[in-house]
Amino acid sequence: MLEVYETEDKTMEELKLEHHTEFETKYRVDGDLVYKFKEIVSEMNYKNFVYAEGPDFYYTKPDGSFLRYRKATTERRSEVTMKEKPSGAKSNIKRKEVNWRVDSTPKDTIVEGAIMMGYTFNFSIWKSCHIYNFKDATLVFYTVRDNNNKLDHFVEIELDEASIHKITLTEAMDLIRKYEKVLEPLGITHRNRLTKSLYEMYVKDIDYDKEPAPIDIAANSWFRSW
């Protein structure tokens, strides 16, 4: 579908974004800013708030593609996600994303399915997320802990994926800028948008010709609760 903007000397046509488009920006912040974040966002007209935490398991292929298996510990929710970055893109603001809810599927089945599709386990992280859902976007403050117990903190602005196909790229960027303005007291501006995704930050170089080692869930205290 085309949206047409009339100007004095020409007509500019801009395509709507496609279904299954993930449109988000991410910012690295200090952990103690979570309180300021919640203070700001809780005063806004949000639809609902969710606190969620749990492990994300990433499986990769030699071509750089990946599959993520997410298992929440704060609710009965599991999800498999695949994302595709546009060829030549310098950032991860706009990606293709597909998700499958797998709440009742045993984790062993998910793992075996990933292996059958040619994926190899690469890394896992633990995320703790403060999630505020709005009509047009979701604002999240989350902490990531890696296998070395290193903590990193992020703020994320993600546009509503269910309605993303109704807006153009220009309109999507306008929404991002709107929420950046709201979060400006946290130091959130277009200048500190991260260009790397979490996958790109934490992915490991692995030898795909070697037999993959099994995931030792019992040895890691993060995963003992599920």
Farthest-apart Cα atoms in the chain, separation? 67
Q: Nearest-5° angle of CA 47, CA 52, CA 58?
A: 120
Residue 220 lies in a domain: no
Residue 9 lies in a domain: yes
Residue 182 lies in a domain: yes
SS (HEC) of the chain: CEEEEECCCCEEEEEECCCCEEEEEEEEECHHHHHHHHHHHCCCCCCEEEEEEEEEEEEECCCCCEEEEEECCCCCCEEEEEEECCCCCCCCCEEEEEEEECCCCCHHHHHHHHHHCCCEEEEEEEEEEEEEECCCEEEEEEEEECCCCCEEEEEEEEECCCCHHHCEHHHHHHHHHHHHHHCHHHCCCHHHCCCCCHHHHHCCCCCCCCCCCCCCCCCCHHHCCC
> Do residues 14 and 3 lie in contact, with contact meaning Cβ atoms separated by under 8 Å?
yes
CA separation for the pair 195, 95 (Å, rounded): 12
Residue 55 lies in a domain: yes
Residue showing tokens 């005063």: 43
Q: Which domain holds residue 105?
A: 2-206
- Using CA atoms, how far residue 30 sits from 99, 130, 138, 150, in Å, is 30, 15, 20, 13
User: What is residue 226's predicted lDDT score, i.e. its pLDDT?
Assistant: 39
Domain total of the chain: 1
Tokens read off for 120: 């190899």
Beta bridge partners of 124: 57
Domain of residue 99, CATH code: 2.40.320.10
Residue 226 lies in a domain: no
Residue 173 lies in a domain: yes
Residue 27 lies in a domain: yes
Residue showing tokens 């993600």: 158
Each residue's pLDDT expressed in tens, for the chain with a length of 226 residues = 444 444 434 334 589 999 999 999 999 999 999 999 999 999 999 999 999 999 999 999 999 999 999 999 999 999 999 999 998 999 999 999 999 999 999 999 999 999 999 999 999 999 999 999 999 999 999 999 999 999 999 999 999 999 999 999 999 999 999 999 999 999 999 999 999 999 999 999 998 887 665 555 444 544 434 3
Residue 199 lies in a domain: yes
CA separation for the pair 207, 205 (Å, rounded): 7
Total-model pTM: 0.87
